[in-house]
Homo-oligomer: A and B are copies of this chain.
């Protein structure tokens, strides 16, 4: 059984039961709904206690429960053709250079981790139309200048 087949089966059960994602993530609990839904859609691993809860909820076999506990081959085809996902892609495409400039100036050479990372999505009521509020934070990981036995640093104090 491939992971995409398990995803299709889970979506079939969700549809037949008429469950919402909220119902499902409340029942499984434990971690962020973004991660639980991601796992059920085949993009994340569910740790064992949660995989067991998901298996109970959906009536999965033991093998299917274990498949949920495996790390999938993550990622989807790009560029995204779906408008909702494309808007996020566009944000990266238009703002990428400015994010790079500002993060590097504030933190130095490195990246915001996409692994040691968390996020939440919330509805922000607004008179002119509600807004999707997304908060995320990722650990800043500085580039390691290896082979640096003399302790050379950016501030250049050692040179002075």
Contact = CB atoms under 8 A, between A and B. Distances in A.
Interface of A: 1-2, 8, 12, 15-16, 18, 20-22, 29-35, 37-38, 41-45, 47-50, 52, 62-63, 66-67, 70-71, 73-107, 109-121, 123-124, 126, 128-148, 150, 152-156, 158-159
B147 A109 contact: no
| Residue of A104, A109, A133 ringed by the most chain B CB atoms within 10 A | A109
Given A49-B159, A87-B113, A114-B83, A138 B131 contact: yes
B135 A135 contact: yes
A72 to B, nearest CB: 8
Contacts of A79: 78-79
A15 B71 CA distance: 13
Given A35-B145, A107-B123, 20 more contacts: A15-B66, A18-B66, A31-B145, A31-B146, A32-B145, A34-B102, A38-B94, A48-B155, A71-B104, A76-B94, A79-B79, A83-B111, A84-B103, A84-B104, A90-B114, A107-B130, A115-B142, A116-B141, A116-B142, A130-B140
